[in-house]
Each structure stands twice: as structure tokens, then as C-alpha cells.
Amino acid sequence: MIRIGTRASQLALWQANLVKTQLEKLGHKTQIIEVSSTGDEVLDKPLHQIGGFGLFTKTLDNAMLRGEIDVAVHSLKDVPTDLPEKITQVAVLERANIFDVLVLKNNADFLKNPESAIIATGSLRRKAQWLQKYPEHTITELRGNVNTRLQKLIDNDWNGAIFAAAGLERVELLPKNHVMLDWMIPAPAQGAIMITALKAETELLEICRQINHKETEITVGVERQFMKTLEGGCTAPIGGNAKIIGDTIYFKGILIAIDGSEKVEVEKTLAMSEWKSLGKICAEEVLSNGGKKLMESIKAEMKK
């Protein structure tokens, strides 16, 4: 019996059930174990004020270390690049939609006119990129699972709210009244589901590796290496998108000030044989082109 640990939200359970189905197709018995995290329970504060990056994963890590679950299922964009010493990434499932989406309250007319609007998001990356494009708009904090956030959009006098498209599509909650934000650089590993297990469980590791999607593993690996080298997390406005094109791998990344006033971008294509160093190369280029100073100012801003 493989005990699959997951957060208790609708989206998290959908992801866990996808892993359950794939493992059972291989002939294994599974059981889903729901675990509640601080990030799910404290919704009245910005994420970076209650623990930031890794907040959603720590509870599952601890449950695994206590022997309560065998594997954990995560949205990979929420997972720190440095895992606990005894835990390892064992599989990444095939990636879904990487983009962000704006769910509209009424219509999109306000996007064509230079007038004030209120947009909701709990992500500093989304906030920063939105304010760079629409500096006259106001960003308001939005936390909670996808159902909660959609309801808050209905209940409040906002023009729209920004979500990860993959999450809404997976649970079939993407409203017709939306705009796909293909201009916004997504979070590293957005749209990817990751499975972790204890390093010592060698038989379990071999089982889970059978459902690993290699192309996704490579692209999210580049993006997370970029983020790690910048020393950023989900609380820093960092975007990254890698894709394989024939025998090459392409990457575009961004580090942007929280208010959208300043950014450093990088765009590069290398041979597939060099993919393991692409994220680091791009991050070092960002740091040398003003990114180091920008990252210091972002960290100072977040401490206020």
C-alpha cells in the first residue's frame, strides 16, 4: 500500500488522484492521506508574511519524516529548490498549461483604457508584471484555494483576479469570462506536479520513477535552477519558462521589482546537451546585469 500525502484542497486532491491513478495502472495499491498546512489555514495575511516559500510543503515533509505517508504530491512551483536532507524529488508528471489567466468580473474594456482598475492576486510575481504593464491599476491581496479565490472575486468590487490557468482547468472551474496572460512569464515549474519520497525507500523510488515525464523534468529543472541561483522563491518576483525545440532548449527569465518599476530579463537558447547549466548561466547573466542590486532591494522591501 502506497500512502499518498496531499493538501486537502480540491485542486490538491485532483493532483493526488492523478498520481493514484497512474500508480494503480502499474498494479500498486494506494491510499490518499489528507494533510492540512498553515498556508491553507491562515488566509488573512500575504504568503511572504507567514512563512513564504515552502509553507505549503513543510507539513507534508514532516508527515513523511514521521512515517505517516510514503509519497507527497505537490504543485512544483510551491516547492523549495532545497528539499529536506532525507527527501528527494522522485517524479514529475507531464506539464499542463504554464500560463497565468485573468478571470474577469465583468468585461475586459478596462484593459484598453488608461483608467484605474482593481486586480486581485497573492503572487508578487504576478503583481510586479501586472503593474509594469498597467501601472495605473491597484493590486489587492488574494489568498486561499481556487474555490475560495473565485468566490472572493464574486463578493468584492474588483475588475478581475489572476490565477494559474492549469489549476482552474484541472478542476474545471475556468470561467468563460477570462483572458489568457501569455505575455506574463510564469513561475518556475508552473503547471507541473511533483512527487517526493524518502531517499532510503529505494523500491518506492523505482516505482515512482516509472511515471516520470522526462521532458517536463528537464524544463522545470532549468527553471528551478534559475530561481535557485537568484536565491529567490515564490515570495520574490521571479519568472522563468524553458521549452525544448528540436535539439535545442530555450529559456526566458525575469527578475522584476515588486512595483514593476524595474526589471532584468534574459533570453537564451543552448544545445540540449547543455541543458543542465542553462538555468545557472541565465541567472548569472541577470545578476551581472543589475539583478544582484535589484534582488537586494526586493529583499529589503519585503522586510518592511
Write the CA distances from 201 to 41, 59, 156, 205, 209, integer angstroms. 31, 20, 48, 6, 12
Active site residue 40: no
d(CA 10, CA 287): 38
Task: Give the CA count within 13 Å in the CB-facing half-sphere of 270.
Answer: 16
Write the CA distances from 11 to 15, 37, 116, 217, integer angstroms. 6, 14, 32, 21
Phi, psi angle pair for 143, to nearest 5°: -130, 165
Q: b or e along 252-268 (b: 16 or more beta carbons within 10 Å of the residue's beta carbon)?
A: bbbbbbbebebbbbbee
Decide if 85 contacts 205 (C-beta within 8 A).
Answer: no
Cell (9 digits) for 206: 523505482
Q: Out of 40, 61, 78, 100, pick the active-site residue.
A: 78
d(CA 29, CA 212): 18
Burial class from Cβ neighbours inside 10 Å (0-12, 13-18, 19+) for residue 63 reads: middle
d(CA 266, CA 74): 28
Please report the sign of the dihedral spanned by the C-alpha atoms of residue 293, residue 228, residue 57, residue 153.
Answer: positive
Decide if 77 contacts 189 (C-beta within 8 A).
Answer: yes
Decide if 63 contacts 69 (C-beta within 8 A).
Answer: yes
- Determine the 3-state secondary structure of 240 from DSSP: strand
- The catalytic site residues sit at 78
